[in-house]
Amino acid sequence: MRDTDLLAEALDRLQREFAALPAWTPEVPGEERMAAVLAEAAQRLGDNFPYFHPLYAGQMLKPPHPIARAAYAMAMWLNPNNHALDGGRASSRMEWEAVREIAAMFGWREFVGHLTGGGTLANLEALWVAGQMMPGKKIVASEQAHYTHERITAVLRLPFASIACDESGRMDLAHLESALASGEVGTVVATLGTTGSGAVDPLGPILDLRQKYRFRLHVDGAYGGYFRLASNLGDDAARAFERIAEADSIVVDPHKHGLQPYGCGCVLFRDPAMGRWYKHDSPCTYFTSQELHIHGEAPQAGASCGVGSFAAELFAEGSLHLGEISLECSRAGASAVALWTTQRLLPLVPGGEFAKELEKCREAALRLHSIISSDTRFVAGPAPDLDIVVFAMRAPTLTESSRRAQEVFDRAASRDLHLALAQMPPRLFPGAGWTDAGEGRMVTCLRSVLMKPEHLGWVEQIGERLREAT
Ligand SMILES: Cc1ncc(COP(=O)(O)O)c(C=O)c1O
């Protein structure tokens, strides 16, 4: 059955839900006119890289699962708004259920959290709460953390500092500890799956530092969070994921590895009482949830309320408007419907179908890394923690290596192999021997994100085309 047949069947079922209403047909422009405009749009969309194809192995782009596409499109017939129950009653409950499953994947049963427009918004909310809990204190993240952390802290007017990474692209613990020793740090962002190379910061040792220094720990798992379910990670990464439940907040993006259309991030807080920071009045949109206003004031910095006192209770009884615990107002109910449906089909459990597909991505990355390591024309970067491979071109100088990377990138694209370019510290390529790799310089290297399980069946072909392009 094609996606479109699945959708047609689901839409019929949805329309039957409203069959008791008097018949009414909306007025829209004629089908021919709409078909012509759609055809024009389809033609315009041809000016894209083929993100769905296994030979697209460049940036973080993964096609949504067919069921997510169908569920999203079906929900668009109603276009619910998950800001308030009045705008999206069913889809708000589906959001709560889907988010609860994501939290359970990390080992949290009691928490507060919701979907967001994406990873940036989700991290913004986590750092906004962190700033409230640790007023005036610095937020630190590795130099390989997503660039938006620094920008978010500027928006929030919070001080920010970057911590150097080691040769694996992970946060360097000695640098982190010297920053903590200054007493100025209030929040550490640990990235489990950096954007550049998929490196997993050493979460365990970072958490251990909390015995000596007081700080909040935020995990940015926007990219890598779902690898909590993978059983084929290296020891270091596996140990990091095992301790993820000890974080204060976690971000994970269903629109990256969660098979969802764009517009779907997720932020979670371990302490449900963090929901109180969102307290506000919106008299025109909330009709049913009175409890929020009775529950009182926001907590003092550093304070923690009893579990179950706030959002968890309201969620449980189905009377919480999600707009009461999120910074955004309107949010697509369709995102929640798509996510709920996908998780219903592919539950987030270790050993399940979803987990196995992620494992294939990591396997593909290990194979590509080994293909690259065995070819002397390349300088392989660190062994992949997840499913991203970075590699530089062998050359006497960093300048020449960067030039060659650009050349190979272009030639690979002309052979329908789409890779990405990235700027990395030369430290990630200790065997390169570049004579001009001075302090502060970056090398342009090649990067391949193997986030489609199909990549595993195509990795030899990817290697072949790469060799031809070199
Ligand atoms: C680790 C990490 N954090 C945050 C983000 C930002 O997410 P979004 O693009 O969904 O806003 C990204 C995006 O690639 C990311 O890789």
Span 126-143, pLDDT tens digits = 999 999 999 999 999 999
Ligand 1 and 126: CB distance under 6 A: no
Q: Which two tokens stand for residue 108?
A: 């949290």
Nearest-CA residue for ligand 1 atom 14 is 195
The two tokens of residue 214 are: 């007081």
Between the CA of 219 and the centroid of ligand 1 the distance, in Å, is 12
Using a 6 Å cutoff on CB, does residue 253 contact ligand 1? yes
Give the N- to C-terminal CA distance of the chain in Å, as an integer.
41
CB 450 within 8 A of CB 368: yes
Which of 75-84, 228-237, 294-303, 385-394 bottoms out in mean pLDDT, i.e. has the lowest?
A: 294-303
89-345 to CATH, choices 3.10.580.10, 3.30.700.30, 3.40.640.10, 3.30.420.480? 3.40.640.10
**Residue 376 to residue 77: CA distance in whole angstroms:** 55
**198 Cβ below 6 A of ligand 1:** no
**Cα(123)–Cα(130) distance, rounded to whole angstroms?**
10
Q: Is the CB of 221 under 6 A from ligand 1?
A: no
Ligand 1 in contact with 125 (CB < 6 A)? no
Among the residue ranges 19-33, 222-236, 395-409, 453-467, the one predicted with the least confidence is 19-33
DSSP annotation string for 350-367: TTSHHHHHHHHHHHHHHH
pLDDT reported for residue 303: 37
Helices (H), 107-251: 119-133, 148-155, 173-181, 203-208, 235-242
Q: What is the pLDDT of residue 202?
A: 98
Q: Which of 102, 198, 184, 186 is nearest to 146 (CA)?
A: 198
pLDDT average, residue stretch 386-392: 98
- The CA-atom distances, in angstroms, between 51 and each of 39, 54, 222 are 20, 8, 19
Predicted local confidence at residue 308, as pLDDT? 39
The pick from 61, 142, 223 for probing ligand 1's pocket by mutation, whose C-beta has the most ligand atoms within 8 angstroms, reads 223
Q: How far is the CA of 26 from the centre of ligand 1 (A)?
A: 39
CA of 179 to the centre of ligand 1 (A): 25
Residue 107 burial by CB count (10 A; 0-12/13-18/19+): exposed, middle or buried? Answer: middle
Distance, in Å, from the CA atom of 245 to the CA atom of 106, rounded to the nearest integer, reads 6
- The whole-chain average pLDDT of the chain stands at 93
The predicted structure's pLDDT at residue 103: 98
CB 334 within 8 A of CB 79: yes
pLDDT score of 279: 79
Domain boundaries, the chain: 89-345, 353-469
Cβ neighbours, 10 Å, residue 246: 15
What single letter denotes the amino acid at residue 310? F
- Quick check: helix, strand or coil at residue 327? coil
Residue (of 75, 73, 69) closest to 17 by Cα position: 75
The CB of 119 under 6 Å from ligand 1? The reply is yes
Give, for ligand 1, the residue of 147, 148, 152 to mutate: max count of ligand atoms closer than 8 Å to Cβ.
148
Which of 144, 153, 195, when mutated, tests ligand 1's pocket best, judged by the most ligand atoms within 8 Å of its CB? 195
Q: Atom 7, ligand 1: which residue's CA is nearest? A: 119
Average pLDDT (65-75) is 97
Ligand 1 neighbourhood includes 146 CB (under 6 angstroms): yes
Question: What amino acid occupies position 153?
Answer: T
pLDDT for res 314:
61
| Closest C-alpha residue for ligand 1 atom 4 | 119
For the Cβ of 220 lying below 6 angstroms from any atom of ligand 1, the answer is yes
Q: Which residues of 35-67 are buried (b: 16+ CB within 10 A; e: fewer)?
A: eeeeeeeeeeeeeeeeeeebbbbbbbbbebbbb
Ligand 1 centre and the CA of 51: distance in Å? 18
Q: What is the pLDDT of residues 146-166, one digit of tens each?
A: 999 999 999 999 999 999 999
Q: At CA 207, angle to CA 205 and CA 208, rounded to 5?
A: 60
Q: What is the pLDDT of residue 439?
A: 81
Position 406 pLDDT exceeds 50: yes
pLDDT for residue 420 is more than 50 = yes
d(CA 141, ligand 1 centre) in Å: 14
Tell me if 431 sits within 8 A of 437, measured CB to CB: no
Q: How far is the CA of 194 from the centre of ligand 1 (A)?
A: 9
Quick one: which of 353, 364, 122 has its CA closest to 255?
A: 122
Q: Is 199 in the pocket of ligand 1 (CB under 6 A)?
A: no
Written out in words, the top-level CATH class of the domain with range 353-469 is: alpha beta
Phi, psi torsion values for 116, nearest 5 degrees = -135, 180
What is the Å distance from ligand 1's center to 263 Cα? 12
Closest Cα to residue 268, out of 160, 391, 116, 370? 116
- By most ligand atoms within 8 Å of CB, the mutation choice from 147, 256, 386 for ligand 1 is 256
Same fold, 89-345 and 353-469: no
What's the half-sphere exposure (Cβ side, CA atoms, 13 Å) at 391? 29
pTM tops 0.85, yes or no: yes
pLDDT, residue 306, reads 34
Q: Can you give the pLDDT at residue 317?
A: 57
Question: 412 C-alpha vs ligand 1 centroid, how far in Å?
Answer: 26
Q: Checking DSSP bridges between strand 112-116 and strand 265-269, what pairing results, if any?
A: antiparallel
Specify the ligand 1 atom closest to the Cα of 193: 1
**Ligand 1 centroid to residue 455 C-alpha, Å:** 22
The CB of 265 under 6 Å from ligand 1? The reply is: yes
Of ligand 1's listed atoms, the one at least distance from the Cα of 224 is 1
Closest CA to 264 of 72, 75, 58: 72
Q: According to the model, what pLDDT value does residue 293 have?
A: 35
User: In the structure, what pLDDT confidence band is assigned to residue 318 with cuts at 50, 70 and 90?
Assistant: low
Ligand 1 centre to CA of 422 (Å) is: 15
Residues of the chain with pLDDT > 70, as a percent, come to 92
pLDDT class of 324 with cuts at 50, 70, 90: confident
SS3 content of the chain, % helix, strand, coil (to 5): 45, 15, 45
Q: What is the mean pLDDT of residues 352-371?
A: 98
Between CA 222 and CA 126 the distance in angstroms is 12
